Structure 1
């Protein structure tokens, strides 16, 4: 997924210590750039770090000038800081949202519906601001993000497998998934930022394979060097177990079990066409 070195500099990365942000900073540096990373918890090192919070009252005093901005922070934090970024010279914006905008909009859980609405509202605000102020924007919506040992999706499954040796599924677990690696997303963001075809467009970014949830779980077992031990349960029994397991599975909801049999698949053909999106297959190694 190579892209010409056409990024406008300086480059600012918001949420630079997030899962994708860590890989993005590394890739930008490897490409010879000197990105500035904004984070509430800057790690130090040889990058230029800005210790700041997007919700801070004094953010205007801390923001550096930047022509290209990558936003890895929750997209609903972005609209209020866009005027400050524009005033500091922003001409190109690549912002991450999520396919949860669509998959959770009709969830039985009010909290999940609220997330979907927040994503949709923020995307609309970003698009409107950029169109009015001449900023070329791209919104990227990943599917199920993972990075071995570091994410809250696939790695959480791995943690449950380590603890309990067996993984229960609600129903047949045949709902389709497209896990996508955070490092591929970082590469995709750079490619999109460099591609005029991606200006003023939104994309779903899916992994290299579309798998039933059950097969995705089997691959996690394999990535741990374990023989798959998957327990298919009736939805009512899975719901009971989920309630008991919540201390080990923060954020678990009843809707999670129901989604195991729902297809959450998207198409990235336009990303392949416009900036060469080419993610890896799902073969995690822990």
Structure 2
């Protein structure tokens, strides 16, 4: 039997694949780019939903990429057995549902539609499914939220610290990998949509302050007062959504996740590796 992973090159896949490799089943990861296989993982080239190589004797499928293309492929593919299906969505399915920005409401709807499509495809094949809804993900510098901020601050040597009392709950990609693997082994998580956040809730300003302190070079803290953020919110369209949520809690209730899977996500203690940075090399570069 074979375990198949879509999104193996993602932050979550980075941590999950080594864990799967220690198990008895072969592991196949599907990527849009050519990657070198090794004894523990066979990489195949393919693209969801229409260009995926034939997969046989599949016992489990993980998907860490977009939901709708995965659901489309799963719905139309010929699955001889009923594999266990574990996918990641996002807490944005709920947190952006009532956003004042139209495209964010559309994104929230797309996530919920994608979840529903995965559930329908699993029902067709008789697959047990689990959907994980993470909060803001960080881990190895592949995220599109905190990492760009950290790297921009590294270049400019200035770190903006916005005012805001809304709570955040960043979750490490390795903890998500642990949760996904635990869901595979725990039948009680089947037919569940499980929220997962980090092990700590902290105000927006403190979250950014910890990112700043984790950088291997000095940056000048630049407080952004509430009046300036209100001005930017009204005049810079692309910032309207994020700035409108600075006073809103974007958190997850881990109670069900912990009860079912026994997963206890870590608190937010970032280091340079979280942003894909090599601390010694960067420090040496800055010294020259």
- Note whether the superposition's TM-score is higher than 0.5: yes
1:85 and 1:275, CA in 2 relative to 1: closer, same or farther beyond 3 A? farther
Contact kept, 8 Å, 1:20 with 1:186, in 2: the verdict is yes
Which range moved further: 208-217 or 24-33?
24-33
Partners in 1 of 2:30 and 2:37 — Cα distance?
13
Within the candidate set 218, 229, 234, 2:221 is matched to 229
Within the candidate set 2, 10, 19, 1:27 is matched to 19
Please provide the CA RMSD for this pair.
Answer: 2.2
Q: How many residues align?
A: 267
Within the candidate set 136, 147, 172, 1:155 is matched to 147
1:149 and 1:14, CA in 2 relative to 1: closer, same or farther beyond 3 A? closer
Contact kept, 8 Å, 1:158 with 1:220, in 2: the verdict is yes
Q: TM-score when scaled to structure 2?
A: 0.85
Answering whether residue 187 of structure 2 is matched by residue 196 of structure 1, we say: yes
Deviation at 1:22, TM superposition (A): 2.1
Q: TM-score when scaled to structure 1?
A: 0.85
Contact kept, 8 Å, 2:68 with 2:117, in 1: the verdict is no
Which range moved further: 155-164 or 267-276?
155-164
Within the candidate set 129, 145, 164, 1:137 is matched to 129
Contact kept, 8 Å, 1:63 with 1:85, in 2: the verdict is no
Gaps of 5+ in 1: 1-8, 244-251
Contact kept, 8 Å, 1:50 with 1:62, in 2: the verdict is no
Contact kept, 8 Å, 2:198 with 2:265, in 1: the verdict is yes
Which range moved further: 85-94 or 254-263?
85-94
Within the candidate set 235, 239, 252, 1:253 is matched to 239
Q: Which residue of 1 aligns with 2:5?
A: 13
Q: Secondary structure at the match of 1:140?
A: strand
Contact kept, 8 Å, 2:6 with 2:29, in 1: the verdict is yes
1:240 and 1:42, CA in 2 relative to 1: closer, same or farther beyond 3 A? farther
Deviation at 1:21, TM superposition (A): 1.6
Q: Which residue of 2 aligns with 1:207?
A: 198
1:223 and 1:242, CA in 2 relative to 1: closer, same or farther beyond 3 A? farther
Contact kept, 8 Å, 1:148 with 1:154, in 2: the verdict is no
Deviations 1:223-265 (A, max 9, x none): 114477141232234448967xxxxxxxx53211121221111
Deviations 1:167-199 (A, max 9, x none): 3344x2211111011111111100111101101
Deviation at 1:204, TM superposition (A): 0.5
Matches within 5 A, 1:48-197: 48-56=42-50, 58-59=51-52, 61-85=53-77, 87-170=79-162, 172-197=163-188
Q: Secondary structure at the match of 1:168?
A: strand
